[in-house]
Chains A and B, each alone.
Chain A
Amino acid sequence: MNLEYTIFIDYAPTLLLGFWLTLKIVVCAIALGIPLGLFLALGKRSPFVFLSFLSTSFIEIFRNTPFIIQVFLFYYVLPFYGLRLSAEYVGILALAAFGSAYFAEIIRAGIDAVPKGQLESARAIGMTDWQSMKNIILPQTLSIVLPPLTNQTLTLIKESAILSTITVHELTMTGLMVQGETFRPFEVFIMVALLYWALNETIATIMRRFEKNINKNRNTGSTKNSSAILKQNENIR
């Protein structure tokens, strides 16, 4: 097969523009998704039945339906309720909602992995439930959840390709358009794939460093845990 090298150069700026939009959307979706995930995780274990029911339902709905269907629902149904957003914003919302369901489950598992005595000792010394969470439980959760959170972030970046189906001009959509113009699928999609790979590899590397840093600073039981989970994840990868 002959490669048309000129395509790499001619269409690089166009594809980079799509890549830039993907990056913006994903960053926004994660910035929304992780706090929402934390809220859902705490909501799920809340003593208020209503809040717990709401959080659990949200998580279960977004975890157990295809992302592409969620995107269609967001895109085609929201306008009926008077919410007219551009495709980009719909994309961010859908990604954030989808991601938050997984983030919530990861954070919940992380909270459960902290020994029960930690919460008891915090409550016994007079901390409120929230003070115990903030000062004692969540800091220990961080080192446990970092590896799976990273994994989920990488998944989210790859899922963002689905937003091309609702006319978001992100990387995949741009790739499809360039392919339509050039009829050179191999060159185009290799470039697209390389860009996704570069982004994810960069994030994975940064997070690995970050984890190592935490492990070095805190020689704790929970971080020993996390390195075990990390190894597991690497095996899966």
Chain B
Amino acid sequence: MTLNFLELKGLHKKFGEITALNNVSLNVSKGEVIFIIGPSGCGKSTLLRAVNWLTPPDKGEVCLEGDIVGSSSSKLTIKESKLLNSFRARMGMVFQQFNVWPHLNALENVVRAQIVVAKRNKAEAEAKALKILDEVGLSDKINEWPDNLSGGQKQRLAIARSLAMDPILMLLDEPTSALDPELVGEVLSVLRRLVNNGMTMLIVTHELGFASKFGDRIVFMDGGEIIEEGIPKKILKTPKTQRLKMFLEKLNITSFKQ
């Protein structure tokens, strides 16, 4: 039996009356790029946030390389929450709203967690930050404050901040949804490089074009459940379920109107 790189087992989550996750299980192999699509409120963001236990599910378990990241069966002990933090450091998360730290300049944004969490010394952290900022095309902005950056630059900074922790998995929650259309491309090109470098990624997105081009698998969710999954070409061209058909039709209509 081969060990799965990332395993989500039977995740349940309810927010009051609303079921965000209903018995969701998903296995991810190393290097796989999975796009999660679905109508808003279908639980795709909750699923992503359950992976690093940012929104702990009511039921279920998440395992990374065979180790338990979080399990609903027991309350976290101090040792386990320490362990959870070390897992989180290796699971880079990118948010729709960037969430860069406005009181730190671009370089410090990338340096801070390296020092605080990964316990690197300042020189080492700065060298690494400079290298990564260069990779995401922000080498001329290292002393800039986040408020003076464009949306696309902020999101690239947020990606750089995660990459500096040497993640083995990236979780991206609608990374381009808050961007002006002309800024989407610069973020996608950074993501494309990550794909080419073999990074394992879970991406919640509405960018179907990007998903079909670079995804190894597309997961379609609705009502807190995984309705359909498969390789992009198959799932987008010949959807098996009525719900996915309707979802794709809706997307086509809206893009046509634009």
Contact = CB atoms under 8 A, between A and B. Distances in A.
Interface string A117-139: 11011111111100100011001
Interface in A193-232: 218-222
A125 B146 contact: no
B27 interface: no
A127 B102 contact: no
B147 A219 contact: yes
B141 interface: no
Contacts of A160: none
A219 B104 CA distance: 10
A125 B111 CA distance: 12
Given A131-B116, A219-B148, A124 B93 contact: yes
A124 B172 CA distance: 12
Chain A, interface residues (CB within 8 Å), range:
20 to 34
A125 B114 CA distance: 9
A140 interface: yes
A175 B97 CA distance: 58
B133 to A, nearest CB: 16
Contacts of A128: 81-82, 85
B88 interface: yes
Contact of B52 (A115, A124, A135, A136): A124
B103 A218 contact: yes
B23 to A, nearest CB: 25
A222 B92 CA distance: 25
Contacts of A121: 93, 95, 99-101, 158
A125 B161 CA distance: 9
Interface in B69-123: 81-82, 85-93, 95, 97, 99-103, 112-113, 116-118
Interface string A130-157: 0100011001100100000000000000
Given A140-B103, A221-B147, A124 B54 contact: yes
Interface string A97-123: 000000000000000000101101111
A120 B89 contact: no
Interface string A168-204: 0000000000000000000000000000000000000
B147 A135 contact: no
B21 interface: no
B214 interface: no
Nearest to B54: A124
A127 B117 contact: yes
Contacts of A135: 112, 116
B88 A125 contact: yes
A117 B165 contact: no
A220 B145 contact: yes
A93 to B, nearest CB: 34
Contacts of B87: 126
A166 to B, nearest CB: 43
Nearest to A141: B103
A136 B101 contact: yes
A219 B89 CA distance: 28
Given A220-B146, A221-B147, A125 B102 contact: no
Q: Could you say which of B54, B91, B99 has the most chain A C-beta atoms within 10 Å of its C-beta? A: B99
5 contacts: A126-B118, A136-B101, A140-B101, A220-B147, A222-B103
Given A121-B158, A126-B88, A128-B85, 14 more contacts: A120-B54, A121-B93, A121-B99, A122-B113, A124-B91, A125-B88, A131-B117, A135-B116, A219-B147, A219-B148, A220-B103, A220-B147, A222-B102, A222-B103
Interface of B: 52, 54, 81-82, 85-93, 95, 97, 99-103, 112-113, 116-118, 145-148, 158, 161-162, 165
Q: Which 3 A-B pairs have the closest CB atoms?
A: A126-B89, A121-B99, A220-B102
